[in-house]
């Protein structure tokens, strides 16, 4: 087994900033894993967050034994720097194991410069695929329950995006795989979102028939399979598509009605496992968006060389910041697939005033102001 210091040394390259001590808390559901495996997974979760603090985008993390990392499956998409990594404390609370880790974090310049900006991500109502066994437990309201839980988790743990939760979109508004790109673009503009998250609940079936019995000696396993897609609504591209799955005991009687929004559901073995999967999904998306650009639009012209954009303090826009600006258009080919084309307007934009959700910008080169139009794309990479 490699030593932790050696592993982290392989991640390090030229350090160009002062270290800052940071702490991150990892968690893992025990669910029969045993203390050591739960501790291992919680430690992985904490290390992943520390690496993200340093500007790294972690797409997979290695196995951990007794708090020490190995090189297996470790992928870091950009440079990061951690020194003096320590387990601050660890504890068990209910069915979860927690590990709090600290490290001297050296943020450095990397290909993930966009990790310093929060992107706006719109959470769509999850699509619940019709299935016969939904009647066991009467889980017809699974979609809004998963939607609300995903929103709550994103507000708790997301560092790279601001989650937006439109209250009036109907259930199954999102149609997975239909790729209605114009609809994606229109919806994103309506809510000032750059990214959209679509969840498709594919399978909540049982592994065997569950019949009403006076005495229940054993319970069937129930699946939870969800396909996750993330769309860049500015570039009109699908940038993430991954299936997550689990199965665990459904410890309710066959005739029992279980409301997915209830504490009874979320405190059950099945609900707890679904909750942990949603944590994993949100954290994976957070890592994904670390390296995605911050993009927005010019939404109003104020003067000959001053405009309003739909990015602001929420996205870490600051006065004096320079933004790229491009004409953007799409060529709609076969199957209504958009092909993007960009053309620089010939000047950058300088941020003059910043508000919570918008900012005022001015052309650095006033002679090029005539090239800038409403709807032009602004970006920070």
Indicate the SS3 state at residue 148.
helix
Name the pairing type of β-strands 161-164 and 127-128.
unpaired
Sign of CA dihedral 193, 195, 198, 199: negative
What are the φ and ψ backbone dihedral angles of 238, each rounded to 5 degrees?
A: -85, 120
**How far, in whole angstroms, is CA 191 from its chain's centroid?**
17
Are the C-beta atoms of residues 165 and 285 closer than 8 Å to each other? no
Tokens 């149609």: give the residue. Answer: 175
Q: Cβ contacts of residue 177 below 8 Å, gap of 6+?
A: none
Residue 99: strand pairing partners: 26, 90
Q: Would you state the pLDDT for residue 199?
A: 94
Rounded distance, CA 98 to CA 92, Å? 6
Nearest by Cα to 378 from 283, 311, 281: 311
Are the C-beta atoms of residues 197 and 241 closer than 8 Å to each other? no
Q: Would you state the pLDDT for residue 94?
A: 79
Q: Would you state the pLDDT for residue 198?
A: 92
Residue 257, judged by CB atoms within 10 A of its CB (0-12, 13-18, 19+), counts as exposed
Sign of CA dihedral 227, 228, 232, 233: positive
pLDDT tens for the chain, residues 1 to 381: 444 443 444 344 434 446 778 888 888 887 766 777 788 888 888 887 777 766 655 544 444 444 445 444 334 433 446 677 788 999 988 778 889 988 877 665 444 677 789 999 999 999 999 888 888 889 999 999 999 999 999 999 898 999 998 777 777 677 776 667 878 888 888 899 999 999 999 999 998 887 776 666 778 999 999 999 999 999 999 999 999 999 999 989 888 899 999 999 999 999 999 999 999 899 889 988 988 999 999 999 999 899 999 999 999 999 999 999 999 998 887 777 888 899 999 999 999 999 999 999 999 999 999 999 999 999 998
Domains and CATH numbers, the chain: 4-111 (3.30.1660.40), 114-289 (3.40.50.10610), 294-380 (2.40.10.410)
What are the φ and ψ backbone dihedral angles of 222, each rounded to 5 degrees?
A: -120, 140
For residue 192, give both structure tokens. 């000032």
Indicate the SS3 state at residue 233.
coil
For residue 168, give both structure tokens. 């009036």
Q: Would you state the pLDDT for residue 6?
A: 39
Quote the pTM value: 0.76
């Amino acid at each position: 087994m490699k030593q932790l210091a050696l592993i982290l040394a392989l991640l390090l390259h030229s350090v160009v900033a002062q270290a800052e001590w940071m702490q991150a808390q990892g968690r893992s559901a025990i669910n029969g894993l045993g203390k050591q495996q739960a501790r291992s997974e919680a430690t992985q979760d904490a290390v992943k967050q520390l690496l993200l603090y340093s500007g790294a985008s972690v797409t997979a993390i290695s196995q951990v034994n007794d708090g020490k990392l190995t090189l297996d499956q470790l992928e870091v998409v950009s440079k990061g720097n951690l020194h003096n990594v320590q387990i601050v404390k660890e504890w068990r609370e209910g069915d979860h194991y927690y590990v709090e880790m600290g490290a001297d974090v050296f943020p450095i310049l990397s290909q993930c410069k966009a990790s310093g900006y929060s992107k706006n991500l719109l959470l769509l109502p999850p699509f619940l695929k019709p299935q016969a066994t939904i009647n066991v437990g009467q889980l017809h309201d699974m979609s809004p329950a998963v939607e609300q839980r995903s929103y709550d988790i994103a507000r708790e743990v997301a560092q790279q995006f601001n989650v937006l939760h439109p209250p009036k979109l109907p259930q199954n508004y999102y149609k997975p795989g239909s790729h209605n790109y114009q609809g994606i673009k229109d919806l994103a503009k309506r809510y000032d979102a750059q990214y959209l998250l679509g969840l498709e609940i594919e399978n909540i079936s049982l592994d065997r028939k569950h019949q009403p019995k006076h005495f229940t000696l054993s319970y069937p396993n129930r699946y939870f399979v969800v396909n996750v897609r993330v769309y860049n609504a500015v570039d009109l591209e699908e940038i993430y598509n991954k299936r997550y799955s689990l199965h665990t005991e459904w410890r309710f009687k066959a005739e029992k009605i279980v409301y997915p929004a209830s504490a009874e559901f979320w405190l059950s073995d099945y609900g707890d496992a679904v909750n942990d999967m949603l944590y994993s999904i949100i954290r994976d998306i957070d890592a994904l968006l670390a390296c995605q650009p911050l993009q927005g639009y010019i939404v109003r012209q104020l003067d000959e060389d001053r405009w309003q954009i739909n990015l602001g303090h929420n996205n870490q826009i600051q006065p004096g910041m320079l933004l790229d600006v491009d004409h953007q258009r799409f060529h709609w080919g076969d199957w209504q697939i958009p092909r993007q084309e960009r053309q620089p307007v010939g000047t950058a934009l300088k941020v003059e005033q910043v508000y919570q959700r918008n900012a005022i910008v001015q052309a650095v080169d006033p002679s090029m102001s005539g090239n800038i139009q409403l709807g032009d794309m602004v970006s920070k990479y």
